[in-house]
């Protein structure tokens, strides 16, 4: 009688272990991302740099890889530096932290009013989008002070006088009106882009 009871317990335990093993093998690990999704955060943990258009390594992407530009983070890096000094600081030495686009033809590209209101953070967002966005990838942001929304979409890479260049679409939206320009910029140094005239 004792051996029958022990035998039943052993069979029940064996059945329980078999069921647990079957269900355990069929269930995915909770820490794994779904098969259709990338492993979010992997790059930030394992790769400290983002490789730019011509191979320069950037310590931050400011959201460009995910399709937006974080103006606040860009502004924190730029600090009080304005105008041409940004290009020289960004394009010189190992202190480069964010790319930037320069050029006097901005008004012709985006319209006089918006070109006048485009600040250094907006120029840095354009420059960093040209550095890190894939061809056909749109990068969006809004200047909360002016109310202008920008979308930069790099399209075709090309060379001009030996410089690496990218054609891109620049869409601006202000007071419900949108304007899209096809333009281009060329690198004049690591991290410095200049609108083509």
| Predicted local distance difference test score (pLDDT) of residue 154 | 95
Domain-located, residue 6: no
User: Region 160-175: what's the mean pLDDT?
Assistant: 91
pLDDT at 3 over 90: no
Record the tokens describing residue 96, joined without a space: 């480069």
149 occurs within a structural domain: yes
The per-residue pLDDT of the chain, averaged, comes to 74
pLDDT tens for 172-182 read 998 888 888 89
Asked if the structure places residue 37 within a domain, the reply is no
User: Minimal CA–CA distance to 103: which of 183, 195, 35, 2?
Assistant: 195
Q: Which residue has the higher pLDDT, 190 or 165?
A: 165
- Domain presence at residue 187: yes
Structural contact between residues 109 and 118, judged by C-beta atoms closer than 8 angstroms = no
Specify if 33 maps to a domain. Answer: no
Lowest mean pLDDT among 34-38, 70-74, 163-167: 34-38
* More confident call, 128 vs 88: 128
Confidence at 8, pLDDT banded by 50, 70, 90:
low
The pLDDT assigned to 12 comes to 57
- Kindly state the average pLDDT of the residues 82-87: 43
**Distance linking the first and last C-alpha atoms of the chain:** 98
Three-state DSSP state, 78: helix
Q: pLDDT category, 71, cuts 50, 70, 90? A: very high
What range does the domain containing 149 cover? 48-195
Question: Between these two residues, 13 and 153, which has the higher pLDDT value?
Answer: 153
Neighbours of 147 (CB within 10 A): 11
Mean pLDDT of the region 4-9: 59
Residue 72 in any domain: the answer is yes
Tell me the HSE value of 184 on the side-chain side, using a 13 A CA sphere: 16
What is the number of structural domains in the chain? 1
pLDDT value for 77: 85
* Tokens coding 165: 């260049």
pLDDT digits (tens, 9 = 90+) for 94-152: 455 888 887 665 556 666 565 566 888 998 999 999 999 999 999 999 999 989 999 99
pLDDT attached to residue 83: 45
Quick check: is 82 in a domain?
yes
pLDDT for position 104: 60
The pLDDT of residue 85: 42
């Amino acid at each position: 009688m004792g051996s029958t009871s022990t035998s039943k317990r052993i069979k029940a335990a064996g059945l329980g272990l078999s069921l647990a093993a079957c269900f355990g093998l069929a269930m995915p690990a909770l820490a794994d991302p779904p098969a259709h999704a990338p492993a979010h955060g992997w790059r930030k943990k394992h790769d400290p740099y983002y490789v730019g258009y011509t191979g320069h390594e950037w310590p931050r992407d400011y959201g460009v890889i995910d399709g937006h530009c974080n103006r606040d983070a860009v502004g924190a890096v730029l600090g009080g530096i304005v105008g041409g000094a940004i290009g020289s600081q960004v394009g010189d030495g190992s202190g480069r932290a964010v790319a930037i686009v320069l050029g006097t033809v901005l008004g012709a590209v985006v319209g006089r009013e918006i070109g006048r209101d485009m600040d250094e953070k907006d120029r840095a967002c354009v420059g960093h989008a040209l550095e890190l966005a894939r061809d056909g990838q749109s990068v969006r942001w809004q200047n909360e002070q002016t109310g202008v929304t920008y979308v930069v979409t790099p399209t075709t890479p090309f060379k001009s006088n030996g410089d690496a260049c990218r054609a891109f679409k620049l869409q601006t939206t202000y007071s419900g009106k949108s304007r899209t320009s096809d333009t281009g910029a060329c690198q004049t140094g690591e991290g410095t882009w200049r609108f083509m005239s």
